[in-house]
Amino acid sequence: MTEAAVDFGIDQALKQLGIAPTNPGTSTGSECFGSGELIESYSPVDGALIGSVHATTAKDYERVVQAAEAAFRVWRETPAPKRGEIVRQFGDRLRELKEPLGKLVSYEMGKSYQEGLGEVQEMIDICDFAVGLSRQLHGLTMHSERPGHRMYEQYHPLGIVGIISAFNFPVAVWSWNTALAWACGDVCIWKPSEKAPLCGVACQKIAADVFRENGLPEGISCLINGDYKVGEMMTTDRRVPLVSATGSIRMGKIVAQAVAARLGRSLLELGGNNAIIVTPDADIKMTVIGAVFGAVGTCGQRCTSTRRLIIHESVYDEVKDALVKAYGQLRIGNPLDQHNHVGPLIDKQAVAMYQNALEEVVKEGGNLLVPGGVLTGSGYESGCYVKPAIAEASNHFEIVQEETFAPILYLLKYSGDVTEAIALQNGVKQGLSSAIMTTNLREAERFLSAAGSDCGIANVNIGTSGAEIGGAFGGEKETGGGRESGSDAWKVYMRRQTNTINYTAELPLAQGIKFDL
């Protein structure tokens, strides 16, 4: 552990989470999580080794699935409100461990400590939501056309829910799925990103303690570790009726095809290429705050990060100048230091993608207003720190059409009415989050209409990032169409059943069909 990590209490945080700092070649939690090759987790904050876990082998995976199947037979018959009580206890344990878990998220992933705490708060919030949900897993009643018959529909647990999560939200997205799935009576097998495996170990330990204390089988919550080959074990497994996958569009297409080939269900949360439209009636101060946080928060590594700013020509220069000034005030450094605004990218591969995107936008005719660059020297030894960049560009540029997981903001200009801006915003293959900055009611309502934003999330006078758990989260087009978290997203974790009860001594057939014997 480096001196900087010790200064910010990472060593103590790991101990509170039951994870002792390890040296190279040492396994963390191997008795629970696998027997394959070692996966070492290095912090992008300072390049230090945090710990290591064993990857899941095919033999390990089979043992996990069998444990999950056995646990499901118990869990599905546990009354839903009692399942909710277990989720409540899990949420309370997260409250107790919010600070150390938030620090681990920050240190292993690289987001600011405040964002790490916010991610754990999302976990707590979805637990609260799921507790209430456990008493509201309601169906419908319908009137039968046949006398003396009653019709209704109900929802039953699916079984094993497979969860594949990405590095950028190493704990929250798992909890969005898990808290709801548990309340619905499902058991879960989670494959966290191999870039943030210790966050997965920490969450699994917390959950396992709660289930153990309540005398429940450990297979209700399972963890597997490894790369895409481990994910393939789950996506091709007929015993896993639902696979929820968060990641790139490329990954999502592979998962969708594998799950569809066995007629399973997939819940996909994939790429975003999110835009904020800035109209002549926008509040410029609000616009700058929303755009800067959306573009540089989590170092541009949110699926809802703001990638494009579509600005009307009448306010273009004013917005541009304000953004350049704001970027000049950004502090980049150790994300555990709350004086800093921007932490590192996840690894050097991400840095290379960032550099390539800046080169490409210039090749295609763009202009770098804030040129960016890789930071070196004291405090930046990991090689993962970069400067947020701003480029003037066109929506048709190939690099603008792609999602680059880095703090690069493209400025696009429009000259017509809001319809032109909406067309630009919709003119990409992704459809996750969108926003408009305007005080004009007509423009706002047009943006939210059927002819407006084609994204799953459409905001007015707030940025593209920062979703609340009360609403369903997800996007359209190549974002995958999935919905997680709030609203009625719980239904994807259950199977629907229609029931008809005949309480007479006769057997009339539907549609008046006669069948006399």
C-alpha distances out from residue 242 to 80, 164, 189, 235, 469, Å: 20, 11, 11, 9, 21
* Token pair recorded at residue 101: 């878990």
Query: What are the tokens at 404?
Result: 């680059």
Catalytic residue among 127, 199, 303, 455: 303
Of the residues 122, 269, 403, 478, only one is catalytic, namely 269
Distances (CA, A) of 211 to 77, 190, 371: 16, 16, 51
Separation CA 308–CA 388 (nearest Å): 14
In angstroms, the CA 383 to CA 350 distance is: 11
Q: Are 109 and 120 in contact (CB under 8 A)?
A: no
Q: Which among 135, 245, 116, 136 is positioned nearest to 191, based on CA atoms?
A: 245
What is the C-alpha separation between 385 and 330, in angstroms, rounded? 13
**182: phi > 0 → left, psi -120 to 50 → alpha, else beta; which?**
alpha
Handedness of CA 186, 187, 188, 189 (dihedral sign): negative
- What are residue 266's DSSP bridge partners? 243
Q: What is the DSSP string of 439-469?
A: S-HHHHHHHHSTTS--SSEEEESS-S----T
Do the beta carbons of residue 478 and residue 271 sit within 8 Å? Answer: yes
Largest CA distance in the chain: 91
Distance CA 172, CA 118 (A): 9
> Tokens at residue 171, please?
């704990």
Cβ pair 463, 432 in contact under 8 A: no
The amino acid present at 513, given as its one-letter code, is: I
For the question of residue 303 being annotated catalytic, the response is: yes
* Of the candidates 353, 402, 358, 112, the residue with the CA atom closest to the CA atom of residue 249: 402
**Of 85, 171, 164, 167, the residue nearest 123 (C-alpha):** 171
Rg for the chain, CA atoms, rounded: 25
Stretch (H or E) spanning 312 = strand 306-312
Residues classed as catalytic: 269, 303
